[in-house]
Amino acid sequence: MRSVAKPAENSRLVGAPWAMQFWATADAEPRLLVQTLTGAILGCGGWVLSRGASDDGAVNVAFEFERRVCEDIYSILVAAGLNLCSPSHLRMTELCQCTRLNPFVSSTEIVSIELEVQTFPCELDSCAPTTYR
């Protein structure tokens, strides 16, 4: 896998009102997580600006979307298995609440997110579903 610079080193977020930097962890294989997030973001109408995974398990995805789909984006981040840190959850909740309260003022604004995920791929045996009899 190719190495990716950390978002703080090449941040495009200066000056944008809804430009956010998120951190998360995930129990996933980095390459598959990048594919899952990319497909989900595109499926919600978002734009993936950059993506990548490093050999140490870090996944970086920079993406944008129209504010009106913020709840969909929040849902796919959680559904993809991301464990967002508390400030990331709070910021996304704030975005969704403000958008819901001001739908005509803010629905077409663009939101930019730089997401950094530290993955902890699980072993095949520990990821197998447990069956109880």
Q: What is the pLDDT of residue 102?
A: 83
Q: Which pLDDT value is given to residue 123?
A: 54
> Is 12's pLDDT higher than 60?
no
Sheet holding 58-66, edge to edge: 47-53, 58-66, 110-119, 19-26, 83-84
Q: What is the pLDDT of residues 102-128, one digit of tens each?
A: 877 767 789 999 999 999 866 544 444
Token code pair at residue 43: 């499926």
22 pLDDT more than 50: yes
| Cβ atoms of 57 and 29 closer than 8 Å | no
57-78 residue pLDDT tens: 999 999 999 999 999 999 999 9
Note the pTM of the prediction, 2 decimals.
0.78
How far apart are alpha carbons 18 and 20 in whole angstroms?
Answer: 6
CA pair distance 42, 109, nearest whole angstrom = 17
pLDDT reported for residue 76: 97
Can you give the pLDDT at residue 17? 72
